[in-house]
Structure 1
Amino acid sequence: MRRRLFASTLHLVAQKGPAATSIDDVIQAAEVSRGTFYKYFDAPETLFDQLALVVAHEMVLMAEPAVVQLKDPAERVGTGMRLVIHLAAANRSVAGFVVRLGWPSGADMPALQEFVQRDLKEGLRQRRFTEMPIRLGLNIVSMTVVGAVHAMLAPRAPRDFAEQAVASALRALGVEPQEAKRIATMELPSPHPLEGGLMVPKLPTRAAKRPAP
């Protein structure tokens, strides 16, 4: 039942935005009673906040098994960003939701703290990245993801926009331009499917191939 409420809300918020999505909209779309809604959530805002965490958590967990195979922390960060961006682009409701509600902060999201922060810290330790506060590094990563997803919702988004965005983020983290481009155009591994997840673990065909120069 909780998943049904999440799935219905995901589509509604992607289409209408959180401010225009009411409890009545959610219970009608999910075909549940008002009492059932309040059994799980005390207000629409609570539902939105929890759903944002679930969506972000799922994307990170789907990317992590592929990312962890890479030894270089810069490659991990770059590949993780690309996987999340392309996963969202392949799931339009997820993309619309992420754009409208943004990306949860690391403090609220254990997976972001555990995996992304791990790779940023290792990149700083190995001097792959310029010395900076971890929070700034997390902001660069999360804002790049949200901005790229937003841009890729446009009908005529550049074919390699995700790769351009990731290369820019890597440069902001301190990676040399040519190295950033190399990492951002590496062959993209497949995401890991999650049983009972809200997203289809399939990337667009174009995402799995290196963009043409």
Structure 2
Amino acid sequence: MTPIQKRFAAEMEPWEATDHRQRVAAKRRQRMRSLLLNSALRLLVENGTASPSIDDIISAARVSRGTFYKYFPSSDAILRELVEKIAEQWVQVADPIVCGHDDPAEHIARGIRLASILAIHQPAVAGILGRLGWAGYQAPNMLEFVRRDIEEGVRRNRFKRMPIALGFNIVAGAAMSAMHRMLETECRDDFSELAAAVALRALGVEEAAADAISRSPLDASEVLFDDLLAEAISDAP
């Protein structure tokens, strides 16, 4: 090694040591964030309806309140991030199926029907999204997922002109209704198709066309949503 190379190596050693410590610290922070998200998720699944408090989460994670506050300012903040991650995974799975047709009305109908499949196969996920994702937390990716097709439908005169928020409420209401009803033992097998048709008619699609679209073949399997919860928090930043 030449004198120049030796000097360069000597100068790089402190930088490499610092970089290594930073990487280790970043991985440690990522593990702790994932632990908190996993704990909150487990409580959401186990409790069914109740949203966990900070005390619930730190008890499940076996960490201090101070540790929690290093990552999240409130229980609402951790729930919002959790819902956004779950919603993002749902959209990634559903979007290729929804967009397999050029008609925005078909997109809306498929999205509602996929929500029903999710409710049957992953009721815990459907419960979380139904209680938090569509409502108070308003996961941005889910909003955009629906907004895109409503705006395109209005632009093409497929849907009647209305405030986007109203169109979103129509679709969200139909999707939530389908999810909840499909979990009931006496629910009609075609309830999700009926919910989709009602939503399309409310958006301005003619009745016969809405019924036909809502009953068109849907190439989707329940296994699409396997491990959705695990995938949602596996890459916590």
TM-score by length of 2: 0.70
Residues in 2 aligned to 1:96 and 1:50: alpha-carbon distance in whole angstroms:
16
Higher normalized helix content (fraction of residues): 2
Describe the shift of the 1:108–1:91 C-alpha distance in structure 2 as closer, same or farther (beyond 3 A). Answer: closer
Of 10, 17, 25, the match for 2:49: 17
One-letter code of the match for 2:86? Answer: V
Q: Determine whether 1:96 maps to 2:127.
A: yes
Tell me the SS of whatever aligns to 2:219.
coil
Which entry has the higher C-alpha Rg, 1 or 2?
A: 2
| Residue range with higher mean Cα deviation, 176-185 or 152-161 | 152-161
| Residue 9 (structure 1) shift | 2.6
Tell me the SS of whatever aligns to 2:229.
coil
Of 51, 57, 73, the match for 2:82: 51
TM-score by length of 1: 0.77
One-letter code of the match for 2:170? Answer: I
| Residue 120 (structure 1) shift | 1.3
Describe the shift of the 1:8–1:196 C-alpha distance in structure 2 as closer, same or farther (beyond 3 A). Answer: same
Percent identity, aligned pairs only, is 40
Of 142, 154, 160, the match for 1:124: 154
Are the equivalent residues in 1 in contact too, given 2:90–2:225 (CA < 8 A)?
A: no
Q: Determine whether 1:138 maps to 2:168.
A: yes
Unaligned runs of 5+ in 2: 1-30, 232-237
Q: May I ask how many residue pairs the two structures share in their alignment?
A: 197
One-letter code of the match for 1:44? Answer: S
Residues in 2 aligned to 1:12 and 1:106: alpha-carbon distance in whole angstroms:
18
Of 178, 187, 209, the match for 1:179: 209
Aligned residue for 1:203?
Answer: none
One-letter code of the match for 1:136? Answer: L
Q: Deviations over 1:21-76 (max 9, x none)?
A: 223332344x4413543332222121122222222222222111122221111111
Describe the shift of the 1:9–1:161 C-alpha distance in structure 2 as closer, same or farther (beyond 3 A). Answer: farther
Residues in 2 aligned to 1:183 and 1:148: alpha-carbon distance in whole angstroms:
16
Residues in 2 aligned to 1:41 and 1:88: alpha-carbon distance in whole angstroms:
29
Unaligned runs of 5+ in 1: 201-213
Tell me the SS of whatever aligns to 1:33.
coil
Describe the shift of the 1:107–1:44 C-alpha distance in structure 2 as closer, same or farther (beyond 3 A). Answer: closer
Q: CA RMSD in A?
A: 3.0
